Structure 1
Amino acid sequence: MNIAKRGLPRMHRKGAFGHTLRAVKINSDWTERLEGDSLRYTAIAALGLSYIDRGTQQLILNGDTAFDLAHACAVRATTSADMGAIALAAWAAAEAGRFHSVALFRQLVQVLSSDTPIATVDCAWALSAALAARQFGDTQDVVSLATKRLMSGRSASGLFPHMLPASASGRFRAHIGCFADQVYPIQALARLYTARSDVEALSAAEACAERICALQGPAGQWWWHYDTRNGGVVEGYPVYSVHQHAMAPMALLDLREAGGTDHSQAIIKGMRWLDEHPEVSMPLVASEKGVIWRKVARREPRKVVRALSAVTTSLLRGWHVPGLDMLFPPVRIDYECRPYELGWLLYAWLAGGVVARLSPGLTADRPAILKEI
C-alpha cells in the first residue's frame, strides 16, 4: 500500500490519471515515462484513494481529493461511449463521490436493455456500481438488468465467458473467459447476495471462486485464460501482478465477507508469487520507484501461444500444441505499471466494510482477515 501511495502521484497529471507508466531507456539510463490517459483507470484510482486519509489524497492529487476526482470522472463519463468507463465512473461517484449519477445510470440502462453484446467485466462493474449507489437513488433497473445479463453467462463449470453472449467473441474464442471475467462477477454477485439475499447469486459466485482457486498454479499463479466449457486452463501466461496483489484478494475477500467460502490460503499463495515467482529471477516489486511491474509473459511473437491455444481448444477441449513451454518460455517481465493496478491494490485491502453496508446487521471482518494473512 505504501508503494501505491508513492507510485500514484507519478501517474497523475492535470486532474486525471495516465494509462501506463513505462520503463524507457534514454541514452544509457533507464527511467519511467507516463503515457496516455484513461477514464477507466482514473475512476479506479478514485475508488482506491477514497479509503486513505484526506491529507495523503491531497498530496497525490495536487490538492484535490478522491471526492473531487470522482465527481470529475462522472462529468467526463457523460460524453463517453465506453460502457466500462461509464460503469466505473458511476461506481466511483457513489462510493468516493457519495452521490447517485442519474445521467450515468440512464446510459447504463440503455445499453443493458438493448441487444448489444456486452463485455462480462463491464456488466459486473455496472452491477457493483448500482449496488453502491442505491443508498443515494433508485438503481433498481440497472441491478435487475445487469444481474440478468451476468447470470445468463455462467457456465456449468462455474466460469464466465468474455462476452455476453459468449458467441459474440467469435467461433474460436467463444469458450474463453479471462481472469478478469471471473473476479469481477464474483465480487458483484457476492455484493448482490448481501444486498438482496439472492441465494442464486451467491451460489454462482461460490462456484466461480471455487474453480479458479482449484486451478491456481503451484506457485500461486492466477492463470489468464480459461475454458468455460470444462473449467480448464486454455493458456496460463501472462501472469499479471495486479491479479496476485489486488484483484483476486478483492473478489475473494468480498465473497468471504458476504458469508461465502474462506479462500484466504489461496490469497496468501497468490501474494507470495510476487516475491517467489519461479519463472524469472528479477524482482517484480520496485519499491523505490513506487511500482509493481505489470506481468511475467512468454517470449513469443504477437501473442502466438494464446492464439494457438484458443484455436486448438475450440476444436478439441483440452488440446494444446506440445512443446509450447519450451519454444516460448515465460521468462519476460513487462516493465510497466498502470494506475488501476495501484488503485485496486488500495481498494482491495482498505475497503473492508463495503459489503457490510449493503446489508444492515452484517459485520465486516477484513481487519481480522488482514491480521490472519
Structure 2
Amino acid sequence: MTRHEGRLGALAAVDASAAELADRMVGLSVRGLPPGYTDGMFVFTRRGRRGGDGRWTAVPEGRSVRYSAIVALGAAALPEDRQRAALAGDTVHDLVGNLVKELPAVTNLGDAALIAWAAAETGHPDLDAGLRRLAELEGALSSGDPVYTVEVSWALAALVAAHRVAGGGAGLSGKLERARERLLTGLGGDRLYRHVLGPASWYRAHVGCFADQVYPLQALARLHAHTGDGEARKAAEQIAAGICEAQGPQGQWWWHYDARTGGVVEGYPVYSVHQLAMAPMALLDLADAGGASHLKEIALGLHWMTSRPEVADELIVEELDLTWRKAARDDPKKIVRGVRAVATAINQGSRIGVLDRIYPPLAVDRECRPYELGWLLYAWLFSLPRDTPGQQR
C-alpha cells in the first residue's frame, strides 16, 4: 500500500507530512515485529538496554497471548508476503491457529475476545472455539460484578466481526445485543467512559484512561457500520468529541480523564501507541462508519512524535525498528495520578498545579510492546466496511 491509498491517502489530503510519517511507521512495524516473535507467539515486551558503548539494544521479555492477538489483527491487513516478513516466515493463519490452541488456558475475558476477533477477521475455521470460550468467560461473571471497560469493548468488537462473517446463527445475534446493551448502559449519563463498569474504589470510580475511551469508540463505530445502530453512533461521536476537545496543544492524547465532565485528571504519561495508532484507529473507524472526521487531530497527534516539548530523546528508534513506549513524569510511585484522582473525586476540576513542577514529564520509558506495532498496522491499513448504510435503530 502506498500513502495515496485508503486511510493514508485521506490523511495526505489534509497533512502530507503526517501521512509520510504514518507511512514510514507502517514499514517500521513490519520490520520491528520479527525480533519479538518466538515459537509462534509474541513476547510481552522488548526492553531497552544500554551497552557500555552507549548504544541501545532491545531485549525480549516474557510472552503475551493478548499482544499476539492484537498483532494478528494488524498483520492480517498485510499481503501474504509481508505477513511472512512481519511474522518471521509464518502467516496470520498460523498465528491465529496458535492462539486458538491457547484458548483452554485463557481466563481473561479481553484475551478471549481478542482471539475471537482475530479469528473472525481472518476467516479462521476455529472461530467457533473462540466464541465458545468468550461465552464461557462471560457466563462466569456474576450479576453486578464490575468489569473493565476495555474488555467489554473488545467483546463487542469481536461479536460484531463474528456476526459480519457468520450471521446470527448459534445465538450470535442475542449475544451481540447483550454486549451492546452492556457497553451503552455503562456510559450512563457520563461524558466519557469510566475504567470500570460497576462498583469501583471511591477515589478512582470517576476516572477513565485513554484506552477506556478508544476501545468503546471503536466498538460502537463498528456496530453502527454493521447494523446502522444510531444510538451506538451517537455514543461514539460523543466519546470522539470528548477526547478531541481535551487533546493537548501539541497533539498529546492525555492519559486520565474525569468521566463525569471529560476534563483531564492527569495527562502523563503520553504514549507513543496512542499518538501513532490507537487514536487514529478509533477515529478513522468512526469516519469509515459515516461519523465525523477528525483528521486534523490525528495529524496533530502524529506530529507530537517528532516535535514534542516534553523530552529531547527520540521516541522513534529507526536502528531498532521500534518506538519507545512513553514520555512520563519521573514519578515511579504514581503519586501525581493518585493525588489528582482523590482531588477530583472531592472537587471536580481540581489540579494541584504544584505537582507539575515537582514531577515534570522528563522521563522516557524505553521499551516497546508488540501490540504497539500491531495496532499501528491495523490503524493505517484496515478499512472498515459499512454493511447497512443509512439504517437506524
What TM-score comes out, normalization by structure 1 length?
Answer: 0.92
Q: Is the 8 A contact 1:16 1:42 kept in 2?
A: yes
Show the counterpart of 1:369: none
Aligned equivalents of 2:175, 2:267: Cα separation in 1: 34
Q: Check conservation: 1:254, 1:355, Cα contact below 8 A.
A: no
Alignment match of 1:293 (pick from 311, 317, 324) = 324
Q: CA contact under 8 A between 1:296 and 1:332: conserved in structure 2?
A: yes
Q: Give the corresponding residue for 2:356.
A: 325
In structure 2, stretches of 5+ residues that fail to align are 1-25
Residue 261 (structure 1) aligns with? 292
Q: Which has the higher contact order (CA 8 A, sep 6+)?
A: 2
Matched residue count: 357
In 2 relative to 1, CA 73–275 (structure 1 residues): closer, same or farther, beyond 3 Å? same
CA distance in 2, matches of 1:303, 1:344: 26
Classify the secondary structure of the residue corresponding to 2:332: coil
Q: State the shift of 1:55 in Å.
A: 1.4
Aligned to 2:3: none
Instruction: Report how far residue 360 of structure 1 moved.
Output: 5.1
2:148 aligns with 119
Q: Is the 8 A contact 1:162 1:181 kept in 2?
A: yes
Partner of residue 154, structure 1: 187
Q: Distance in 1 between matches of 2:214 and 2:190?
A: 15
Matched residue, 1:224? 255
SS at match of 2:57: strand
Identify the range of structure 1 (190-199 vs 38-47) with the bigger mean alpha-carbon deviation.
Answer: 190-199
* TM superposition shift of 1:217: 0.2
Is the Cα–Cα contact under 8 Å of residues 12 and 18 in structure 1 kept in the other structure? yes
SS in 2 for 1:5: helix
TM-score by length of 2: 0.87
How much is the aligned-residue C-alpha RMSD, in angstroms? 1.6
TM-superposed CA distance for 1:288, in Å, is: 1.9
Looking at structure 1, the residues matched to 332 and 368 of structure 2 have their Cα atoms a distance apart, in angstroms, of 21
**Structure 2 counterpart SS, 1:273:** helix
Q: Counterpart of 1:284?
A: 315
2:350 partner amino acid: W
Q: Is the 8 A contact 2:207 2:258 kept in 1?
A: yes
Q: Which residue of 2 aligns with 1:17?
A: 42
Q: Does 1:48 align with 2:92?
A: no
Does 2:234 align with 1:209?
A: no
Identity rate, percent? 46
Question: Which residue in 1 is equivalent to 2:100?
Answer: 74
User: C-alpha distance in 2, partners of 1:355/1:100?
Assistant: 23
| 1:136 is the counterpart of 2:162 | no
Rounded Cα–Cα distance in structure 2 between residues aligned with 1:129 and 1:100: 14
Correspondence list, 1:94-105, <5 A = 94-99=120-125, 101-105=127-131
When residues 201 and 360 of structure 1 are mapped into structure 2, their CA distance, relative to the original with a 3 A threshold, is closer
User: In structure 1, what is the Cα distance between the partners aligned to 2:181 and 2:138?
Assistant: 9
Match of 1:23, SS state, is strand
Cα separation, 2, equivalents of 1:9 and 1:97: 23
Residue 64 (str. 1) matches residue 90 (str. 2): yes
Corresponding residue for residue 366 of structure 1: none
- Aligned-pair distance for 1:70? 1.1
Per-residue Cα deviation, 1:85-140 (whole angstroms, up to 9, x for no partner): 10000001111243462233233334445423211111111111111112125322
Letter in 2 for 1:89: I
1:144-183 aligned at under 5 Å gives the runs 144-165=177-198, 167=199, 169-183=200-214
1:230 deviates by 1.5
Task: Supply the distance in 1 between the matched residues of 2:303 and 2:53 (Cα, whole angstroms).
Answer: 33
Secondary structure at 2:50's aligned position in 1?
A: strand
Check conservation: 1:6, 1:289, Cα contact below 8 A.
no
- The answer to whether the 8 Å contact 1:39/1:77 transfers is no
Q: Is 2:29 the partner of 1:4? A: yes
Letter in 1 for 2:158: A
Cα pair 2:119 2:130 within 8 Å, conserved:
no
